[in-house]
Amino acid sequence: MAPTAPRWREAAVRAASRIIPADVLWYVDTDAPAVGLTFDDRPSPHTTPELLDVLARHHAHATFFLIGERVRAYPELAAAISAEGHEIGNHLMRDEPSVRLPEQRFARELAEVTALLTAYGPVRWFRPGSGWFTPRMLRCAARQELRAVLGTLAAANDGGPRDARIGANLLAGVQPGSIVVLHEGTPWRRGVARTTDELLAGLAGRRLSAVAVSALAALGR
């Protein structure tokens, strides 16, 4: 992947977000030296503890979009995320494309996961599974006082050689107000900790801080 590709994607997403008629947060219009850092999927003993260690070492914060059934399986990890000062978001009940869910099931599971997560802190945001959404889904979320968050740059570790390039590729495109989407959870995503370490070190070198979505949104113009 060429080093300029992430910059192109960032610009394209920002441009597209201005014409899509949907209440979705893609990025924050700000000159503040901050970037929104988010993680999708799980929590999981394979990735979450090491990831929390990396964030703590860099004094960084993030929003974790958690899957309901995984929170039920590992409540201690959800509690650890919150205890470290990170934000929690709703990523529905299972790791599946939310856009395929029947309307009533989507509404029920969205509410069910929010109720589950509020034991660990306030929930303001949701991210649809696989990133696809419809106006119906957004209206349903709004009735439950949730707003959708996607992002301007995204990557997923897969345990292969390309993992070594993810951090540099993200750094090539990130700018103030960007929202970065990374993925954790499975054994082959263990590299997300190293990717995050590289990303945060690079951000620090550019005097950019990594913050949770709500903190970034508060910096908007």
189 token code pair: 């995503």
Known active-site residue 183: yes
Task: Tell how strand 34-40 and strand 179-183 pair up.
Answer: parallel
- How far apart CA 198 and CA 117 sit, in angstroms, is 29
* Amino acid, res. 129: G
For residue 198, CA distances in Å to 55, 85, 119, 170, 213 come to: 11, 21, 32, 10, 20
* Amino acid, res. 146: L
Known active-site residue 91: no
> Given 61, 86, 91, 183, which residue is catalytic?
183
> Given 40, 41, 163, 197, which residue is catalytic?
40
First to last CA, the chain: 33
Show which residues are catalytic. 40, 183
